[in-house]
Amino acid sequence: MSSSAPRQSWQPPSLAELQALLPGYEFLALIGRGGMGAVFKATQRSLNRPVAIKVLPASLMENEDSNFAARFRQEALTMAKLTHPGIVSVFESGEAGGLLYIVMEFVDGTDVARMIAGEGKLAPELATKLMTQVCDALHYAHEHGVIHRDIKPANLLLTRDGAVKIADFGLAKQHDAEQLGLTKTNVTIGTPDFLAPEAWTPNTALDARADVYALGVTLYQMLTGEVPRGFWEMPSERVGTDARFDAIIERALQPKPDARYQSSTELRRDLDRVLTEPAAPPPSAKVPSRSQRRVLVAGALLVAMGFAVWLWIQPREESSLAPAAAGIVTSTNDSGPGSLRDALAAATNGATITFAPALSGRTIALQQGELVINKNLTIDASALREAPRLDGNHRGRVILVTANAVAELDSLVIMNGWLVQGDGAGLYNFGRLTVRNCTVTGNGTDFSGGGLFNHFGHARLINSTFAKNTVKGAGGGIGSFGNTGSLELYHCTLADNEAVAVGGKLGGGGIYVYQTALRLTNCIIAGNRTGGKGPEIWLQSVFDPVADRCLIGDPAECGLKLGGNLAGLEASLAPLGLYGGPTPTMPPLAGSPALDAAGPTTLTTDQRGRPRPLGPAPDIGAVEGAVQVPPAGQ
- Count other C-beta atoms under 10 Å from residue 614's C-beta: 17
Distance CA 299, CA 531 (A): 47
Q: Report the DSSP pairing between strands 439-441 and 444-445.
A: unpaired
pLDDT category, 539, cuts 50, 70, 90?
confident
Instruction: Write the pLDDT tens digit of every residue in 114-152.
Output: 889 888 999 998 999 899 999 999 998 998 888 888 899
Residue 544 — pLDDT band, cuts 50, 70, 90?
A: low
pTM attached to this predicted model: 0.47
Q: How many CB atoms lie within 10 A of CB 379?
A: 27
496 — pLDDT class (breaks 50, 70, 90): confident
Q: Coil, strand or helix: which one is 269?
A: helix
How far apart (Å, rounded) are the C-alpha atoms in residues 28 and 343? 45
Least Cα distance to 422 among 347, 488, 366, 473 occurs for 473
Residues 311-355: pLDDT tens digits?
222 233 333 223 333 589 999 999 999 999 999 999 999 999 999
State the pLDDT at residue 67. 62
Q: For 226-257, how does the pLDDT look when each residue is reduced to its tens digit (9 = 90+)?
A: 998 766 889 999 999 999 999 999 999 998 89
Which of 396, 395, 387 is closest to 428 using CA atoms?
Answer: 396
Ramachandran assignment for 222, one of left (phi > 0), alpha (psi -120 to 50 degrees), beta (any other): alpha
User: 79-101 b/e with 16+ CB inside 10 Å = b?
Assistant: beebebebbbbbbbbeeeeebbb
Q: State the Cα–Cα distance between residues 350 and 540, nearest whole angstrom.
A: 36
Instruction: Output the pLDDT for position 508.
Output: 87
**So what's the pLDDT on residue 355?**
95
User: Is 281's pLDDT higher than 80?
Assistant: no
Mean pLDDT over the full length of the chain: 75
> What's the gap between Cα 145 and its chain centre?
34
Neighbouring C-alpha atoms within 13 Å toward the C-beta of 3: 6
Q: Cα–Cα distances in Å, from 114 out to 153, 154, 303? A: 8, 7, 9
CA 361 – CA 349 distance, rounded (Å): 27
Mean pLDDT within 300-309: 25
- Where does 109-277 sit in CATH, by number? 1.10.510.10
Give the pLDDT confidence score for residue 138 in this predicted structure: 93
**How far is the C-alpha of 631 from the C-alpha of 634, rounded, in Å?**
6
pLDDT of 175 above 80: no
Residues linked to residue 590 through DSSP beta bridges, in sequence order? none
Q: What is residue 72's predicted lDDT score, i.e. its pLDDT?
A: 67
Q: Give rounded-to-5 percent helix, strand, coil for the chain.
A: 20, 25, 50
The H-assigned helical ranges of 81-123 are 112-119
Predicted confidence at residue 357, as pLDDT, reads: 92
User: 420 exposed, middle or buried (CB, 10 Å; 0-12, 13-18, 19+)?
Assistant: exposed
Most confident of 183-192, 218-227, 520-529: 218-227
Query: Lowest-confidence range among 53-67, 285-299, 396-410, 505-519?
Result: 285-299
Confidence check: pLDDT of 87 > 80: yes
Beta bridge partners of 50: 43
Q: 61 pLDDT band (50/70/90 cuts)?
A: low
Average pLDDT of the segment spanning 597-616: 42
CATH of domain 15-105: 3.30.200.20
Question: Residue 419 — pLDDT band, cuts 50, 70, 90?
Answer: very high
pLDDT tens for residues 205-214? 889 999 999 9
Distance CA 227, CA 236 (A): 15
Confidence class for position 66, pLDDT limits 50, 70, 90: low
SS (H, E, C) 293-307: CEECCCCCCCCCCCC
Rounded to 10°, the helix 208-224/124-143 angle is: 170
Alpha-carbon torsion, ordered 429, 435, 441, 445, to 10 deg? 10
Angle at 241 between CA 236 and CA 244, to 5 degrees: 75
Distance, CA of 409 to CA of 462 (rounded, Å): 10
> Could you tell me which residues are beta bridge partners of residue 230?
295
